[in-house]
Amino acid sequence: MKFLDLAKVYIRSGSGGGGCISFRREKFIEYGGPDGGDGGRGGDVWVEVVDGLNTLIDFRYQQHFFANNGQSGMGSQRTGKDGDDVILRVPVGTEILEEDGETVIADLTELGQRLRIAKGGNGGFGNLHFKSSTNQAPRRANSGQEGVERTIWLRLKLIADAGLLGLPNAGKSTFLAATSNARPKIADYPFTTLHPNLGVVGVDGAEFVIADIPGLIEGAHEGVGLGVRFLGHVERCAVLLHLIDGTSGDPVGDYKTIIGELEAYGGELANKARVTVLNKIDALDAEEREFLKDEVEAATGTSIMLMSGVTGEGVTDVLRALRAKIIEMRAAEAALGMEAEPWQP
């Protein structure tokens, strides 16, 4: 299934049915009186979070969603049938945005959430509604209320416990493949990963979800490479796992490049808890490992872990550090009264 995380959708709720002008006619009743019924209500447009979806690919093939109009009222005091609602089924983590693509209408983060984004029009009153002691034969009825037509954007932000960050070829996909059943594309050229991948990893009997996004390069916030389009997928993560290529020749520069792009992206992403790892140590001898570790720690003021995603060296320690950070951050979120539920190992 192709991954799609952004979709433009056109919606319209149903218009209400018109009221009816009708008079009762019976053989032995001299004055029948009005009996026109009201029009039915137009259908609503809903967004519902359902299980089993992890992409917005369905909205590539259908972008227009129109609810049914209400039926007009009829004689014999019969009210018109209400229009059927239409439901947009989306995965967990979907944001609903206005047409400008920036104003957030709602953020749907829980399974089963429903939101009405376009209300159907009310049905018009029939002439029976206007009957009174001074107007016993009204010849007027209301038209139904018009439906609501609007354009919205759906944007998916994957919900994961930890997110992978790094330059292209830093070993993110290799790490995900080595620690989970996910099978991302792995090759020895940049930008192998073209869309986010999710993997469930386990350590010490506990499981958590890791999101791998396409690599960032310098100038990504200006659209260079694949830009920062996919950074939204790690916004919801409790912890970021920052992988640095130990064979790149300039690990300090690589670290600063990623941090600079996070700061340019804005929001709270640059301030999220991070576990920083020097990867590909299988290609380094013991002296080179210690030298690079000390160099990066001195330049960044950050504690650095060592790991090789290929051989598995240090991977378990990194997963344990991630798990501890996730538990810590989820507990902090719960203490602050945030909507995120505490992570359960």
Q: Do the annotations mark residue 280 as ligand-binding?
A: yes
- Residue 172 annotated as binding? yes
Whether 79 has a binding-site annotation, put simply, is: no
Q: How far apart are CA 50 and CA 160, in angstroms?
A: 17
Q: What are phi and psi of 342, to 5 degrees?
A: -60, 135
What does the DSSP assignment read for 132-197?
A: -SS-SS----PPPPP--EEEEEEEE----SEEEE-STTSSHHHHHHHHSS------SSS----S-E
- Binning the chain into helix, strand and coil, the percentages to the nearest 5 are 25, 25, 50
For tokens 């810590």, name the residue. Answer: 328
Q: How far is CA 156 from CA 109, 244, 274, in A?
A: 10, 27, 23
Annotated ligand binding at 7? The verdict is: no
168 is in an annotated binding site: yes
Residue 308 assigned as binding residue:
yes
The number of angstroms, rounded, from the C-alpha of 283 to the middle of its chain's C-alpha atoms is: 39
Which of 153, 315, 165, 179 is CA-nearest to residue 234? 165
Q: Is 244 annotated as a binding residue?
A: no
73 is in an annotated binding site: no
Is position 300 annotated in a ligand binding site? Answer: no
Joined together, the tokens standing for residue 174 give 């290799």
Task: Determine whether the annotation assigns residue 204 to a binding site.
Answer: no
Task: Tell how many helices (H) and how many strands (E) occur in the chain.
Answer: 5, 14
Q: Does 194 appear as a known binding residue?
A: yes
Question: Is 309 labelled a binding residue?
Answer: yes
Q: Please check if 100 is assigned to a binding site.
A: no
Ligand-binding annotation for 112, yes or no, is no
- Is 327 one of the annotated binding-site residues? no
Residue 51 marked in a binding site: no
- Is position 281 annotated in a ligand binding site? yes
Is 193 annotated as a binding-site member? yes
From residue 256, give the alpha-carbon distance in Å to each of 48, 238, 302. 41, 21, 12
User: Is 181 within any annotated ligand binding site?
Assistant: no
212 annotated binding-site participant: yes
64 in a labelled binding site = no
d(Cα 287, Cα 76) in Å, to the nearest integer? 94
DSSP letters along 196-242, please? -EEEEEEETTEEEEEEE-PPP-TTGGGT-TTTTGGGGGGTT-SEEEE
Are 38 and 124 within 8 A, CB to CB?
A: yes
Residue 303 annotated as part of some ligand binding site: no
Annotated binding site: 166-173, 191-195, 212-215, 279-282, 308-310
Annotated binding site for Mg(2+): 173, 193
Annotated binding site for GTP: 166-173, 191-195, 212-215, 279-282, 308-310
